[in-house]
Chains A and B, each alone.
Chain A
């Protein structure tokens, strides 16, 4: 059974700090790993990673995948209060047409 573990479960930092969120996984025939941001309602798509070592970047957010060690990290620099949310990591495996989600990291940014 596919498994995704995120850490830490929750994180509280001050505005302006940099944070790193972790996601480790076990999946049969890995295809892709996705990061989502969930505020009050719908998760919004951030990144999809398929290849090791290639950083994906969007503004202050960046993410990278290590397929050898089976993990990914999501970095947020110069955090803002609007970054407060639950960050979800999910994986796809070949032949398993569904996403397996981790429990998420609840990030709180204090002004």
Chain B
């Protein structure tokens, strides 16, 4: 149980284009979803937290207009990188948690490697 699917696993795009990344909880209802960014040999940096049906909460320094997050259902959240530039190239990874005793446990997707040319 507790499977999170993230798609695509790898995307290459031209500078100035937008890229959408999907994160789905396959066998549980994700009341909260998280989006992280990971640079090589560094830890996971939280970008934003989203609760189903409400606006995402962004971490300091993360541009909300550039990284659009939508959490329209209890099983799906999307991250759209708008007008991507080479400096946005990174590994983006989502996680999901549910209510109850396991609320603190986040289950992670496999990540998306974004390369902006």
Contacts and interface: CB of A to CB of B under 8 A. Distances in A.
Interface of A: 31-32, 34, 36, 41-45, 48, 88, 92, 97-99, 101-104
Nearest to A100: B46
A88 B111 CA distance: 16
Nearest to B32: A97
A32 B104 contact: yes
Given A36-B108, A42-B6, 5 more contacts: A45-B2, A88-B43, A88-B44, A98-B46, A103-B42
Contacts of A103: 42-43
* Nearest 8 pairs of A and B residues by beta carbon: A41-B110, A42-B108, A42-B110, A101-B43, A103-B43, A32-B104, A101-B44, A43-B108
B4 interface: yes
Contacts of B34: 98-99
A53 B55 CA distance: 39
Which of under 10, 10 to 19, 20 to 34, or 35 or more describes the interface residues of B?
Answer: 20 to 34
Contacts of A88: 43-44
B105 interface: yes
11 contacts: A36-B108, A41-B9, A42-B109, A43-B44, A43-B108, A45-B107, A88-B44, A98-B34, A98-B49, A99-B106, A101-B43
Contacts of B6: 42
A43 B30 CA distance: 17
B43 A34 contact: no
Interface in B58-84: none
Q: Is the interface of A mostly helix, strand, loop or mixed?
A: strand
B43 A104 contact: yes
Given A34-B104, A43-B108, A97 B49 contact: yes
Interface in B90-117: 93, 104-111
Contacts of A99: 34, 46, 106
Nearest to B94: A42
Contacts of A102: 43
Contact of A92 (B9, B93, B104, B111): B104
A98 B59 CA distance: 10
Contacts of A104: 43
